[in-house]
Amino acid sequence: MKKVIGTILMVMAALPLFAANDAMLSYYQRQAVTQGRNAKQDRAFASALARDVAAWINTHQDSPEVKTALLMQADYHLRAQEYAQALLAVYRVRFYFPSEQDVSLLSSQVETIMEKLNRSQKAQALKLLAADTSDIDGLAARQAALLIDLVKSELDDIYMAVCDLFENFFAQYPSYAQNDKMILQYGDWHRQNGNFLAAVLEYKKVYELYPNTVYKAASLRMTADVYASDLKEYEVAMGLYEQVLKQYPSSAEHGIVYKHLAMMQENRKEYESSLAYYEKAIAALDKKPEVVEAWQGKADVLIKTKEYRSAYDTLLKGAETTTNETAYVNMLSQAADLAERRLKEPALETAAIEKILLVYPQTHKAPELMYKAAACYEKQGKKNQAIELYKRLIIHYPTEKYASKAQGRLERLEK
């Protein structure tokens, strides 16, 4: 972690903060010497200064002193112990001024922020600060890209600050060619921060106010997703999903709609209907990455209805549709568990495990899977195959706990 931070700090050259030429900005800069009577009062004062500087930035987007203002804002947020907001200000400097000669970021700011963030937040911060933005042309495109990156991040405590950035963006660029997409992003931001009705507001805005948008079907589907998953208003969601299917018969959204309808019906314990929708989702999604989720969902419903052999076969078929190692290993591991615990068929268990070890021999679950496969060979009376696999496990993973367990099994088999 320290090495990565150090690399970022080297890229982001630590140049001195320039004196502000704008009268108002210069005034805010001079207030840095003002201290509160106690720590709480001083933090409140610094927070107010940061907000005032933010307001100046919003009305001076084209000013060459935006960089100075952002660094000033970061300093005031740090003083107020508002570390996520300080990170946001620093990130905007990094994003808007990517070249080394333009970046005047103080290394102490980054170091202080990193010390205060938790491990997850640090990982997100490093991704943001290390991003290469030099190939994005135009201030509007640059601000739009910044907002999209922030929506994708999992940073806490910046919800309202990013909302302000969205609102300022729309006010400054009302005719931006991709505002329909940006409004959907704003909806996503609301949704992932738990403001579900605000998310609906934005999604519906695209559908109703942008007649020529390519996101008509998507905006309806996303609205339905909120009603189905977050608000639990299933009838409203059902109506919106059906509207997508009827009004946009050739939409690429159909596969996702069917998958989400299946999930909704599964949650309502309407298993027969759920399975029918999962079948439609699998057919519509075909070879798209999302199809694996439909296969997994279908298997889950079959397990709930105790159709274990069908669930086993579904998991095997679903695994073959993905190139994602984690998804592949998890689905076939689940199939192996079904074979062991529900079907009581060691041959089916070993078949699933063998597929994993053939496609992903270095998977982190390899020691456990090799041990389980060898145990299955024992149950089937295949002593030689069991011995060979136990030996391979011991040789390749001598320090794993399954190696010591395998040693005990091996000694009993070779007596």
- Can you give the pLDDT at residue 397? 93
Model pLDDT, residue 104: 44
Give the DSSP H/E element, type plus range, for residue 284: helix 271-285
Phi, psi for residue 229 in degrees, rounded to 5? -90, -35
Q: Which pLDDT belongs to residue 19?
A: 64
Domain segments of the chain: what residues?
1-136
Within 13 Å of residue 73, how many CA atoms lie on the same side as its CB?
27
pLDDT of residue 257: 97
The string of pLDDT tens digits covering residues 11-67 is 333 333 456 778 999 999 899 888 888 999 999 999 999 999 999 998 888 888 998
What's the pLDDT score for residue 296? 98
Q: Residues near 353 by Cβ (< 8 Å), separated by ≥ 6? A: 332, 336, 369, 372, 373, 376
| Chain segment 347-382, per-residue pLDDT in tens | 999 999 999 999 999 999 999 999 999 999 999 999
The rounded distance, in Å, linking the Cα atoms of 276 and 267 is: 14
Distance (Å, whole) CA 299 – CA 334: 10
Tokens 């309806």 locate to 220
Residue-level pLDDT at 108: 63
* pTM listed for this prediction: 0.80
Low-confidence ranges of the chain (pLDDT < 50): 3-17, 100-106
| Backbone phi and psi for residue 369, each to the nearest 5 degrees, phi listed first | -70, -40
Contact 155, 91 (CB under 8 A): no
Longest dimension (CA), the chain: 90
